[in-house]
Every structure is written in C-alpha cells, then in structure tokens.
Amino acid sequence: MKRRQFMTAAAASAIVAASGSVRAQSKLVLKATDVHPLGYPTVEAVVRMGKKLEAATNGRISVEMYPSMQLGGEKEMIEQAQVGALHIARISVGPMGPLVPEMNVFNLPFVFRSAAHMEKVIDGPIGQEIMQKLTDHPTANLIGLCWMNAGTRSVYNSKRPITQVSDLKGLKIRMMGNPLFVDTMNALGGNGVAMGFDQLINAMQTGVVDGAENNEPSYDSGQHYRYAKYFSKTDHLMIPEILVFSKRQWNAMSADDRALVGRMAKEAQLEQRALWYEAEKAAIGKMVAAGVVMNDVPNKKEFQDAVRPVWDKYAGQHKALIDRIQAVN
Ligand code: GTR
C-alpha cells in the first residue's frame, strides 16, 4: 500500500513536470485587431511587432491580425480586450476619455501646439503617467502598451468648404463616442452626432450625417471622400492612439514574456511614427487625385475661441496636468 502511494506521488510529480514544460513551450497566438485595413500605419506596426516577437521566441509567440473592423468597431474591440476575447487592440484615446479621466485631457480641442509638442508629451513622463493610469484602472482590465501617432483631425462634409466657424452651422457631423467631442462640435455651431467609426459610411450614405472629422489617412483609407468631398483643415483635435493588451492574458504570461512584449511595443511606437508621416503624405496625394476639395482655415484662432466652453467644462479638474503639458517644449 505504502509502495503504491509512493509510486502514485512520483507519477503525479512527473506529470506536473511534463505539463510545466509543455506550458513553457506552448504556442501563444496573440489575437490583435484594428479598425483600419492592412497597410495602415498602426496595423503595419503591430504586424511587424508580431514578426519580431515570433523571431525572438523561435515562433513560440506570434500575432494574428484581424484588420478592417473584422471583430467589430472600436467599442466592441475595447470590450473584447477587456474580457480577454482578444489580446491586443489598437484604439484611439478618444473613446477612452470617459473611462480614464486624465486621458480626456489629450481629447481637448487644440491642446497640443504642434505634432512635435504632442510627441514630446507622449514620449516623456506625462505620457508614461497617463498610460499607467489606464493600466492601474480598477475596472478597465487593460494594460497600456504604447502610444501611436494619429495626426490632426479636420472636418469634412458633403455640403461646403468650412473656412470659418459659421460655415459649420446646421451641419450634422459625426463625432467619436465621447460627450467631449459632441460638445466640441456643438460649440463650433455644428450638430455633433456620436456614433462608431463602423457606422459612419452608412450614416453618410443615408444622410444621417453630412460629414465627420478625422485625419487624412483615415479619410482616405475609409473612402470617406466618396461621400464628403470637402475636406477643411480645421486641425481641431490631435489625439494620440494607444495599443492596449488584455490584462487577463497579461497576468497569465511570464515576467519575461511581458517584458519582451513591452519592449517590442515601445519599438512599435517609433516604427509607427515613421510610417505615419509617410501615410499622411500619401493620403494627401490620393485625396488630390480623387478630386477632394481641400481648403485651409485662415483664422484658427476663431475656432480656438469658439471651443472655450468645452475647456470651461472639462479642463478645470485637470488644471495642474494641463499646465504641465503646456510647459513642455
Ligand atoms: C481614427 C482612429 C480610430 C478611430 C477613428 C474614429 O483616426 O485611428 O481608432 O478612433 O479615427 O474616428 O472613430
């Protein structure tokens, strides 16, 4: 009896050891998604990150990319990452603002002076702190991996060029799902309509909205120019994007694997940036070729003054943070 018990224990520990080594070597396929198509800078950066992870782990860790809203719109992507149904999601800070209040500071209209200013902020301690707020958020269930560039957002519509604030009067403009953006459009005199990126084409086709606002690469790759040919360089928002990782999966990974993913994500941040500037240039070229009517806004200050009520409503609670952002140069 004694002997039998001993053997059973030995057999059990052999099984435990075997399953441990199987676990150490078992393949991990990280499911990643993005609203944008293959080739878009954010998608390409994550695809490249996957190849690097695969090379660094001899194929043990890889990334499977689901581009073009294959897993739903941005809201669905966030929800799926939160429950661990997917592992990596590239999302905008836009819809994260209501969840992580400090992130909403990046969503304030005209908060950054220039792309260089924005990059300095996200690359520095403020960027790190704000990303950490997301990671530490008690119910978000997400790990913030890195920032990405998304240029500036400008208004486009099917009716007329916007050269001054009053041109927006009466226009229904789709905004991202965050009350701050609806308030921004309303402060400018338009009618802000919140909806997902995945619903926008249909809304423009059916006249539910007259247009939207976004950066040039999204306008181009989303083929929004087919429904809204007036693209007016309002540059009212400069919202960075983020790569998030499911906390559930993160907690299941070894410290080494986490460090590796974290390091590669940091590299992806810079790789995406270079791709971003190329894509922006290419998109503008394609917009010209597609006959988009583009115009500059001669008096930006008029737009900045018009969104003061948005600052009054949302900025007060973050004054110290905003002062620090403005002091970065
Ligand atoms: C894009 C951004 C997406 C999404 C989209 C939108 O510029 O990359 O993540 O936020 O805008 O307007 O919903």
Provide the greatest CA pair distance for the chain. Answer: 92
Query: Which of ligand 1's atoms lies nearest the C-alpha of 196?
Result: 13
In this prediction, residue 22 has a pLDDT band, given cuts at 50, 70 and 90, of: very low
- Do 164 and 143 share a structural domain? no
Classify strands 191-194 and 230-237 as parallel, antiparallel or unpaired.
Answer: unpaired
In a domain, 91, yes or no: yes
Residue of the CA atom closest to atom 6 of ligand 1: 197
- Do 250 and 129 share a structural domain? yes
In a domain, 254, yes or no: yes
State how far the Cα of 156 lies from the Cα of 136, in Å rounded to an integer.
Answer: 37
- Closest by CA to 256, choosing from 5, 9, 28, 2, is 28
Tokens found for residue 175 = 């905004």
Residue 171 sits in a domain of what CATH number? 3.40.190.170
- Do 160 and 144 share a structural domain? no
Residue 21 CA, ligand 1 centroid: distance in Å = 42
Residue 27 CA, ligand 1 centroid: distance in Å = 32
Mutate to test the pocket of ligand 1, among 40, 74, 231 (most ligand atoms within 8 A of CB): 74
Question: 37 is in which domain, residue-wise?
Answer: 27-150+239-282
- Do 191 and 44 share a structural domain? no
- Do 104 and 44 share a structural domain? yes
List pocket residues of ligand 1, CB cut-off 6 Å. Answer: 35, 74, 91-92, 94, 150, 176, 197, 214-215, 218, 241
- Do 312 and 204 share a structural domain? yes
- Do 92 and 142 share a structural domain? yes
b/e map of 273-293 (b: 16 or more CB within 10 Å)? bebbeebbeebbebbeeeebe
pLDDT per residue over 278-319, tens digit each?
A: 999 999 999 999 999 999 999 999 999 999 999 999 999 999
- pLDDT at 254 exceeding the cut of 70: yes
- Closest by CA to 130, choosing from 153, 115, 147, 149, is 147
- Do 320 and 231 share a structural domain? yes
Residue 131 CA, ligand 1 centroid: distance in Å = 18
pLDDT per residue over 142-170, tens digit each?
A: 999 999 999 999 999 999 999 999 999 99
Residue 214 CA, ligand 1 centroid: distance in Å = 7
Residue 179 CA, ligand 1 centroid: distance in Å = 16
Residue 260 CA, ligand 1 centroid: distance in Å = 27
In a domain, 4, yes or no: no
In a domain, 9, yes or no: no
- pLDDT at 189 exceeding the cut of 60: yes
- Do 195 and 164 share a structural domain? yes
Residue of the CA atom closest to atom 8 of ligand 1: 92
In a domain, 262, yes or no: yes
Number of domains in the chain: 2
In this prediction, residue 24 has a pLDDT band, given cuts at 50, 70 and 90, of: low
- Give helix 125-136 / helix 115-123 axis angle, nearest 10°: 60
- pLDDT at 17 exceeding the cut of 60: no
Tell me, what amino acid is at 268? A
In this prediction, residue 25 has a pLDDT band, given cuts at 50, 70 and 90, of: low
At residue 189, the 3 state secondary structure works out as coil
Residue 256, sorted as left (phi over 0), alpha (psi -120 to 50) or beta, turns out to be alpha
pLDDT per residue over 222-240, tens digit each?
A: 999 999 999 999 999 999 9
Q: Which stretches of the chain are assigned E, i.e. beta strand?
A: 28-33, 61-66, 88-92, 142-148, 153-157, 172-175, 191-194, 211-214, 230-237, 241-246, 293-296
